[in-house]
Amino acid sequence: MKITRLYSGTDNQSYFEEIEVPFESREDFGLFTLPEPAKAFFFREIPPGWTYGWHTVVCREYVVMLDGEAEVEVGSGEKRVFRKGDVLLAEDLTGQGHRTRVLGKRVWRQMFVTLPE
């Protein structure tokens, strides 16, 4: 399974990269990823038209898109649109960060899973 990683480069800019999440196979359990420790989780809803200027994340976290869609932009001008079912590993803790805007007319719903340091 591929997910998008958002990280800080040595030049204090944020970047996207696609990473492959490896799956294990067990005949009685199907395909699954190895368990990863989590610190907390929460849900968030953001209304259509919402924008958030340049910012970094406060901790490493997975963001699972549940509904709606949003565009995330990094300093290079590269933009990615995230939709229902997409997963983002947000790790841009330093630098300029990224900015976000909700697209369309639907509420953007996400589940955040914060990771230990």
Encode pLDDT of 38-91 as tens digits: 999 999 999 999 999 999 999 999 999 999 999 999 999 999 999 999 999 999
Is-contact 34 24, C-beta < 8 A? yes
Q: Does residue 117 surpass a pLDDT of 90?
A: no
CA atoms within 13 A on the CB side of 84: 6
Residue 37 has pLDDT above 90, yes or no: yes
pTM of model > 0.75: yes
Cα–Cα dist 64/78, whole Å: 20
Sorted by where each starts, the structural domains of the chain and their CATH numbers stand as 2-24+35-114 (2.60.120.10)
